[in-house]
Amino acid sequence: MTKFDEHKTSRQDGLNDLFDNIRMKFRQFKLSSAVIIIAASVVLWTFWTAWFTVQPEETGIVQRFGKVMRTANPGLHFKIPLGIETARMVPTARVLKEEFGFRTVASEPGQKTRYEPGDAYMDESLMLTGDLNVIDVQWIIQYRIEDPLRYLFKVRDTPKTIRDTTEAVMRRAVGNRLGSDVLTTGRVAVSVEAKEEIQQILSGYEIGVRLVTLELQDVTPPDTVKPAFNEVNESRQDKEQTINMAEEQKNREIPKARGVATQSISEAEGYALERVNRAEGEAARFESIVTEYLKAPQVTRRRLYLEAMTSLLAETNGLYIVDEDQQAMVPWLSVESGTQPATQGNRQP
């Protein structure tokens, strides 16, 4: 080997040693950085999982390896980190709702709320009534969580239990009534009865919820029978209108007839009283005349005669006075009513 080759070999060995030292330094630096990163991540995760925030409308449930340890009110709280303790939030101050037969479509702020009825929800809304008619019932329930522990742990799936119970009770309430009642006047009764029964069942399950409202949003016949139903509904409206008109006429004619009858009775009673009083007066007058006649028959007889003639002659239009001693061809004197009798010189032949 020449001197040049030896120098080249020694130089190459030196470079290899340098590279080996650099590689070792780099490996040591890389291992230390990974440890630092892992340690920082563990510290950050520990700090991040050591606290939680409960919103004003929520109640926090803290569990340690699945066991409930305590409840937390709204605010900032701390717990054992690294998954030893976990916190679950229950919206106890919020009114929750479940929709049946339709769904509310989320809309942007400032826009009206839209509803999405469709064939996908017909299995919830189609119901059989007591008279074997099919109607489409859409309704909504609203409830509050009163006991978060029972709500979370008493049953396996509380929202599904509430939906299944509500649907079963509503189908029974609709099935016990006629379709026409549910479509018209029986809607309020159905909602009240269903709400009371649902609350009773949920209280028996000890779910820890309280129903706020149950409202029937829309009750209509299926689309396939709507034309026939509209005709029946129009006929019922015509029937109701005819009944109302008849009731109006009855309320007008019956009081009128009662008034006429009362007037006739009053007039008859007044006439009867008048006749009785007149008869009693005539009887009293006759008795007084008899008494006077017994005292002075001639005077009383003459007075009666003059009174009778006065009343009789006052009603005559013409008066003829016949003179038996008159020798003329017309032996009477004509005296017209309202004229003076003619004198002897003016007597007609």
Mean pLDDT of 70-82: 90
b/e per residue 297-314 (b: at least 16 CB within 10 A): eeebeeeeeeeeeeeeee
Query: What's the confidence (pLDDT) of residue 345?
Result: 42
On whether both 215 and 115 belong to a single domain, the answer is yes
In a domain, 3, yes or no: no
Q: How far is CA 326 from CA 322, 330, 331, in A?
A: 8, 8, 5
**Does the pLDDT value for residue 19 go beyond 70?**
no
On whether both 213 and 148 belong to a single domain, the answer is yes
Q: How would residue 323 be classed by pLDDT, with cut points 50, 70 and 90?
A: low
Q: Determine how many CB atoms are found less than 10 A away from the CB of residue 349.
A: 5
pLDDT tens by residue, 108-159: 666 666 667 666 788 888 999 988 888 899 999 999 999 999 999 999 899 9
**Does the pLDDT value for residue 330 go beyond 60?**
no
On whether both 212 and 231 belong to a single domain, the answer is no
Q: Based on the structure, what is the number of domains in the chain? A: 4
On whether both 238 and 140 belong to a single domain, the answer is no
In a domain, 280, yes or no: yes
On whether both 72 and 163 belong to a single domain, the answer is no
Q: Among 183, 204, 221, which residue terminates a domain?
A: 221
On whether both 278 and 325 belong to a single domain, the answer is no
On whether both 143 and 248 belong to a single domain, the answer is no
d(CA 174, CA 166): 12
CATH assignment of the domain containing 119 = 3.30.479.30
Least confident of 44-58, 95-109, 263-277: 95-109
In a domain, 38, yes or no: no
In a domain, 150, yes or no: yes
pLDDT tens by residue, 210-225: 999 999 988 888 877 7
pLDDT tens by residue, 234-281: 888 889 899 999 999 989 999 999 999 999 999 999 999 999 998 988
In a domain, 29, yes or no: no
d(CA 63, CA 5): 76
d(CA 133, CA 127): 8
User: Could you identify the residue written with the tokens 């009343």?
Assistant: 311
In a domain, 177, yes or no: yes
Q: Across the strands, what pairs with 334?
A: 320
In the chain, DSSP finds a helix count (H) and a strand count (E) of 8, 13
On whether both 207 and 217 belong to a single domain, the answer is yes
d(CA 189, CA 99): 19
Q: How would residue 311 be classed by pLDDT, with cut points 50, 70 and 90?
A: confident
> What pTM does this model have?
0.57
- Where in the sequence is the domain holding 309, given as residue range(s)? 225-315
Query: What's the confidence (pLDDT) of residue 286?
Result: 83
d(CA 129, CA 171): 8
On whether both 125 and 230 belong to a single domain, the answer is no
On whether both 103 and 211 belong to a single domain, the answer is yes
On whether both 212 and 232 belong to a single domain, the answer is no
pLDDT tens by residue, 168-221: 999 999 999 988 888 888 889 999 999 999 999 999 999 999 999 999 988 888
Query: What is the three-class DSSP state of 331?
Result: coil
Q: Among 35, 65, 90, which residue terminates a domain?
A: 90
Q: Among 221, 253, 281, which residue terminates a domain?
A: 221
**Does the pLDDT value for residue 285 go beyond 90?**
no
d(CA 243, CA 239): 6
In a domain, 156, yes or no: yes
On whether both 69 and 171 belong to a single domain, the answer is no
Mean pLDDT of 26-41: 64
In a domain, 234, yes or no: yes
